[in-house]
Chains A and B, each alone.
Chain A
Amino acid sequence: MNRVVITGIGIYSCLGKTVEEVKTSLRRGKSGIVFDPERKEIGFRSALTGWVERPQLKGVLKRRDRIGLAEEGEYAYVATVEALENAGMDMDFLANREVGILYGNDSSAKAVIEASEIIKEKKDTTMLGSASVFQSMNSTITMNLATIFKLKGVNFTISGACASGSHSIGMGYFLIKHGLQEQIICGGAQEINAFSMASFDGLSAFSTREAEPEKASRPFDSSRDGLVPSGGGATVILESLDSAKKRGANILCEVIGYGFSSNGDHISVPNVEGPVRALQMCLKDAELEPTKIDYINAHATSTPVGDMNEAKAIDQVFGSHKPYVTSTKSMTGHECWMAGSSEVIYSIIMMQDSFVAPNINLENPDEEAAELNIPSETVAADLNVFLSNSFGFGGTNASLIIKKYSGD
Chain B
Amino acid sequence: MQKEEVIETINRLLIEEFEIEEDQLQPEENLMETLEIDSLDLVDLVVVIEKNFGFKVVPEEMVDVETLQDFYDFVAVRTR
Contact = CB atoms under 8 A, between A and B. Distances in A.
B56 interface: yes
Interface in B23-80: 38, 40-41, 43-44, 46-47, 50, 56, 58-59
A132 B56 CA distance: 19
A129 B47 contact: yes
A20 to B, nearest CB: 32
Contacts of A62: 19
Nearest to A58: B19
B50 A130 contact: no
Among B18, B40, B46, the one with the most A-chain Cβ atoms within 10 Å of its Cβ is B40
A126 B43 CA distance: 7
Contact of B59 (A64, A124, A126, A131): A126
Interface residues of B, number: 13
B56 A129 contact: no
A267 interface: no
B18 A130 contact: no
Interface residues of A, number: 9
A64 B41 CA distance: 8
Interface in A124-142: 124, 126-127, 129-131
A63 interface: yes
A25 B56 CA distance: 52
Interface secondary structure of A, over-half rule? loop
Nearest to A67: B44
Nearest to A125: B43
B47 A127 contact: yes
B44 A129 contact: yes
A63 B18 contact: yes
B46 A64 contact: no
Given A63-B18, A63-B19, A126 B40 contact: no
Contacts of B58: 126
A62 B38 CA distance: 14
Contacts of A127: 46-47, 50
Nearest to A66: B19
A127 B40 CA distance: 12
B40 A130 contact: yes
A130 B43 contact: yes
A130 B59 CA distance: 12
Nearest to A127: B47
Contacts of B41: 64, 130
Nearest to B39: A130
Nearest to A126: B46
Contacts of A130: 40-41, 43-44
Contacts of A131: 44
Contacts of B50: 127
Nearest to B50: A127
B60 to A, nearest CB: 11
Contacts of B19: 62-63
A127 B50 CA distance: 9
Given A127-B47, A131-B44, 11 more contacts: A63-B19, A64-B40, A64-B41, A124-B56, A126-B43, A126-B46, A127-B50, A129-B44, A129-B47, A130-B41, A130-B44
> 4 closest pairs, A vs B, by CB?
A130-B40, A130-B43, A63-B19, A129-B47
6 contacts: A62-B19, A64-B38, A127-B47, A129-B43, A130-B40, A130-B41
